[in-house]
Amino acid sequence: MNTRTGDAQADFAGLVGKRPILIVVLPLARLALGAAAVCAVAAAGFGGYWLAVGSAGVERLFAPAPAADKGAATIDLPELIVNLRADTPSRFLKIGLTLAVAPPDRAKVEQAMPYLNNALQDFLRNLDQHDLQGSAGLFRLRTELRRRFNLILGQDAVADVLLRSLLTQ
């Protein structure tokens, strides 16, 4: 056997023993460095938030979410059929709403029902079909109705406006 070949085989045998270690260690080292970089970025972001809002803001961030009020009373508004604006392809809107109110405010809401119906009809007659498209449109509809009802009744008398039915034709 040639000495060159023997030396080459010896060198190759030495590399084969070290190669599995390199195949395992290098990816693990890269993974550890990547995880350290992600942790550093998260720590910097949290530190920046803490500096911006202070300790009270951080405590609010980690405070438990308030439980949903299961004691809220619901009041069904009568279903309405209104004309939409004249320049839309859909001409009519049929809508049924339910108001979620606190039990102490129920009497106040029922007493103000004619004013709520008036505000509802005024608002709905100025809508067009494009205002009601998609989940974002329905969300805007619900929040605007809630805002208008709370302007009539007082602050936060209506906790939520729920859609029972909605039909455009």
User: Helices marked H in the chain — which ranges?
Assistant: 3-62, 106-111, 113-124, 134-153
Residue bearing tokens 């320049």: 87
**Is the pLDDT assigned to residue 47 strictly greater than 80?**
yes
pLDDT band at 145 (very low <50, low <70, confident <90, very high): very high
Estimate to the nearest angstrom the gap between the alpha carbon of 162 and the chain centroid.
17
Mean pLDDT, to the nearest integer, of 117-125? 92
7-39 tens-digit pLDDT: 656 565 555 556 667 778 888 899 999 999 999
In this structure, how many other beta carbons lie within 10 angstroms of the beta carbon of residue 127? 20
As a whole-number percent, the residues of the chain with pLDDT over 90 amount to: 43
Q: Which residues pair with 99 in a beta bridge?
A: 75, 161
Q: Would you list the domain boundaries of the chain?
A: 1-63, 73-168
Rounded CA separation 127/123 (Å) = 7
Question: Which tens digits make up the pLDDT trace of 77-92?
Answer: 999 999 888 777 778 8
Element (H, E) at 165: strand 158-168
Query: For 132, phi and psi rounded to 5 degrees?
Result: -105, 5
Across 27-31, 51-55, 65-69, 115-119, least confident range: 65-69
Paired tokens of 6: 């023997």
CA torsion angle 80 140 147 56 (round to 10): 150
Residue with tokens 């455009």: 168
Nearest to 73 by CA among 147, 167, 166, 158: 158
Domain covering 73-168 in this structure, CATH number: 3.30.479.30
Sign for the pseudo-dihedral over CA of 108, 113, 117, 122 = negative
CA contacts within 13 A on the Cβ side of 115: 12
User: Is the confidence at residue 51, as pLDDT, over 70?
Assistant: yes
Q: Does residue 139 carry a pLDDT above 60? A: yes
Q: pLDDT band at residue 62, thresholds of 50, 70 and 90?
A: confident
User: Which pLDDT belongs to residue 156?
Assistant: 83
Instruction: Check residues 10 and 133 and name the one with the higher pLDDT.
Output: 133
Q: Around Cβ 161, how many Cβ atoms within 10 Å?
A: 21
User: Which pLDDT does position 67 carry in this prediction?
Assistant: 54
**Residues 152-162: pLDDT tens digits?**
998 788 999 99
